[in-house]
Amino acid sequence: MNWFRFPGPSVSAIWAIEGGRAPMSDERRPRTVLFVCTGNLCRSPMAAALFRRRLQQDPLRSNWRVLSAGLWAANGEPASPNAVVALAERGVDLSRHIARRVTRELIAEADLVLAMTPHHVEALRLAFPEAADRIHLLAEMAGETHGIADPYGLSLSAYRATASELDRLLAAGYDRIVALAEGR
């Protein structure tokens, strides 16, 4: 793409011949955060939906992409019914979620990858060493070091507890998540 600089009376404008608009600065570029668990049926879709809701309340970041995937996901599976209920009780709709497996393309798109357990972090860093510096444990964002227990196959109360834990970590770690995704 060819770029020309046109001096103005008080500022310079950069215009692209193709597209006719100035490129978006890296600071303003929408970011992508990818949450990863095992099957992409419970924890990562719940975390993604809860984080997406937080971003919608932040006018500077309401256009970010929030994705989820699983290390061993069966593509096309719906979210766990108890995950859907636990989030519906919090006013978050997870009913349209479709599971997908982590791919090199998803990792490449993500500015930040947040995994649910230390084992997920290790597996992701081994599989995608080129992205190791962007892969972190979700709990670390809140200054903690534990993994998030998998509620799959457990009672609704276990899913509610997981939703509470995820919401707490996302609230406590929000500023750090934003800073890392923005490369600060």
Which segments of 19-166 are extended strands (E)? 32-37, 65-70, 112-115, 135-137
Which segments of 19-170 are extended strands (E)? 32-37, 65-70, 112-115, 135-137
Gap between the Cα atoms of 41 and 24, Å rounded = 35
* Terminal Cα-to-Cα distance of the chain (whole angstroms): 28
42 included as an active-site residue = no
Catalytic residue (choose from 54, 65, 111, 150): 150
CB atoms within 10 A of CB 46: 32
Catalytic residue (choose from 31, 37, 42, 167): 37
For 140, list phi and psi in degrees, rounded to 5: -60, -25
Burial 52-70, CB ≥16 within 10 A → b, else e: bbbbeeeeebeebebbbbb
Catalytic residue (choose from 43, 100, 125, 134): 43
Gap between the Cα atoms of 30 and 61, Å rounded = 7
Question: Known catalytic residues?
Answer: 37, 43, 150
